[in-house]
Amino acid sequence: MNDVTNIAKTTAIEPSLGRAFMAMLGRDLTLAYRHRAQLANPLVFFTIVVSLFPLGLNPDPDLLRTIAPGVIWVAALLAAMLSLDSIFRSDFDDGTLEQILLSPHPLSLLVLAKTLAHWLITGLPLLLLAPVLGGLLDMSGEALGVLMITGALGTPILSLIGSIGVALTVGLRSGGGGVLLSLLVLPLYIPVLIFAANAVGNAAGGFEVTGQLAILGSLLALSVGLAPLAAAAALRISLN
C-alpha cells in the first residue's frame, strides 16, 4: 500500500515540475518578445565588434583567417555579457523574484528554466549569426562547421555561469553590480574561450579537434548540473 502511495505521489509531482519549468520558460520568452527592441542589442554589438577588426587591422585574408576564431569568440562572450543582467533583474525590481523563492518547486529548476530562456534569447541568435560573420572573415568550411559545434556547446555555458554571477549581484543597488559581475564571470569564461577558439583554429589548420570538443562537452555537463544549484543558493543569499 505504501509503495502504491509513493508511486502516486511521484507521478503527481513529476508533471507538476514539468509544468512549472515550462511555465517559467514560456513566461520569460513572452516577456522578451514584448521587449523585442532589446533583443537586437547583443546581435548588433556582436556584428559591430567583428566587423571593426578588418578595418582596424590589415584586411589581408590570411591574417583574418588566423585571428577569426579568437575575434568571434571574444565578441560573442562580450555580447552575451550585455544581456546577463536581464536574467533576474526585472524580476527583482518588480518583486517577482521573492515570489519565485517562495514557490514550492525547487528553485534550481526554475533558475535552469530562466537560464534556458536567456540562452534562447541571446545565445542561440549569436550561434546562428556566427557563421555569417565567420564567412566575412574568410573562414573555411571546416572551421565554420566546428565554430557551430563549439557555439552549441559553449554559449549555454556562458548563460549558466553568468546566472551565478547575476544571482550574486542582483541585490546590489549601488550601481556597481555590472563591474562586479564582470569581475566574477570573466575569469570563469576563460576556459570556454580558450578551448573553443583553439578548436576552431585547429579545424582551420586541418588538425584534430575532438579533445577540445570533449572538454567543452564536459564543461557543459558540469555547468548544467552545478550552475543552477549555485545560482539558487546565491539568490537566497542576495535576498536575505
User: pLDDT tens, 180-192?
Assistant: 788 889 999 999 9
Q: What is the pLDDT of residue 156?
A: 95
Q: Is the dihedral of CA 68, 71, 74, 80 positive or negative?
A: negative
Amino acid at 103: S
pLDDT (average), residues 142-167: 93
Q: What is the pLDDT of residue 15?
A: 52
- Which position has the higher pLDDT, 6 or 21? 21
The residue written with cell numbers 533576474 in the block is 88
Digit-coded pLDDT (tens) for 49-67: 998 888 887 778 888 888 8
DSSP annotation of 85 reads G
* Contact in structure between 230 and 162 (CB atoms under 8 Å): no
Name the pTM for this structure: 0.87
pLDDT (average), residues 92-115: 88
Q: The C-alpha cell of 228 is what?
A: 543552477
